[in-house]
Amino acid sequence: NAGVTQTPKFQVLKTGQSMTLQCAQDMNHEYMSWYRQDPGMGLRLIHYSVGAGITDQGEVPNGYNVSRSTTEDFPLRLLSAAPSQTSVYFCASSRQGAIYGYTFGSGTRLTVV
Amino acid sequence: QQQVKQSPQSLIVQKGGISIINCAYENTAFDYFPWYQQFPGKGPALLIAIRPDVSEKKEGRFTISFNKSAKQFSLHIMDSQPGDSATYFCAASMVYSVGNQFYFGTGTSLTVIP
């Protein structure tokens, strides 16, 4: 049982490049979310999904796109990377109506130069 | 604005001492208050959580104290150990919210000196 798996663990991008951060969970969780973690800011919600085909914006969605074609996968896309997107990104998942079991991945450290 | 305010930003405690981290919230609709522990290079992991119908919850050396009228809650780590050195985040949510959205504090970096 792998839990929440994020890839890659580290990535360096040039300004303007695009990339996709991958997130997969094998717990059959309905809810999945993406957070970014910045020093002094805590974790801030980017996008979330309550099930396959359903996504919505969080607190800081600008510059990011998501889709949820399957229950297991919830990729985060950066269309045109900017230095302000340098951060550590965490994916998390939980059962519907069961926030007690909120599980985080190990993170992707992204640097945009 | 920051929905959950956390202090202090950093904390240094001697081994065996008590570590105390405080959080405050504004939204009275919040009804679930977890604490997460994060080690370097790892994702946050649930440490302990409380609902507002109780004023205190204890699990081993970790205790949450909750003051509903003051809209404050705190984490107490008794007999702090070097292995407790980590970043701690408080959070708040609504149990029946759509999407299980959490609002996190800014984190406290705890260092326990041997």
Q: Determine the residue of chain B that is closest to A99 in CA distance.
A: B100
Q: Identify the bridge partners of residue A31 per DSSP, sorted by sequence position.
A: A94
pLDDT class of A99 with cuts at 50, 70, 90: low
Residue A97 in tokens = 């109506």
Q: Cβ separation of A99 and B93 shorter than 8 Å?
A: yes
pLDDT value of position A19: 96
Q: Cβ separation of B41 and A107 shorter than 8 Å?
A: yes
Q: Within an 8 Å CB–CB cutoff, is residue B46 touching chain A?
A: yes
Q: Determine the residue of chain B that is closest to A9 in CA distance.
A: B41
Q: What value does the mean pLDDT of chain A take?
A: 92
**Which residue of B44, B89, B95 is in closest CB contact with A99?**
B95
Question: Rounded to whole angstroms, how far apart are CA atoms A81 and B83?
Answer: 37
In angstroms, the separation between the Cα of residue A48 and the nearest Cα of chain B is 7
Q: How large is the average pLDDT for residues A76-90?
A: 97
| Residues in chain A within 8 Å Cβ distance of B9 | 40
Question: Rounded to whole angstroms, how far apart are CA atoms A108 and A29?
Answer: 21
Q: Cβ separation of A48 and B101 shorter than 8 Å?
A: yes
Question: Rounded to whole angstroms, how far apart are CA atoms B105 and A31?
Answer: 21
Q: Determine the residue of chain B that is closest to A90 in CA distance.
A: B43
pLDDT class of A101 with cuts at 50, 70, 90: low
- Where chain B has pLDDT below 50, the residues are none
pLDDT at A98 over 60: no
Phi, psi of B99 (to 5 degrees): 85, 0
Which residues, in sequence order, are CB contacts of A4 under 8 Å at separation 6+? A23, A24, A25, A27, A91, A92, A93, A103, A104, A105, B43
Question: Rounded to whole angstroms, how far apart are CA atoms A58 and A34?
Answer: 9
Q: Determine the residue of chain B that is closest to A103 in CA distance.
A: B45
pLDDT value of position B75: 98
pLDDT class of A91 with cuts at 50, 70, 90: very high
Question: Rounded to whole angstroms, how far apart are CA atoms A26 and B102?
Answer: 22
**Which residue of B43, B49, B105 is in closest CB contact with A105?**
B43
Q: How large is the average pLDDT for residues A72-99?
A: 91
Q: How large is the average pLDDT for residues A81-99?
A: 88
CB neighbourhood size of B113 (10 A): 11
A13-63 confidence digits (pLDDT tens): 999 999 999 999 999 999 999 999 998 888 999 999 989 999 999 989 999
Residue pair B51/B34 in contact (Cβ under 8 Å)? The answer is no
Residue A43 in tokens = 């974790």
Q: Cβ separation of A50 and B99 shorter than 8 Å?
A: yes
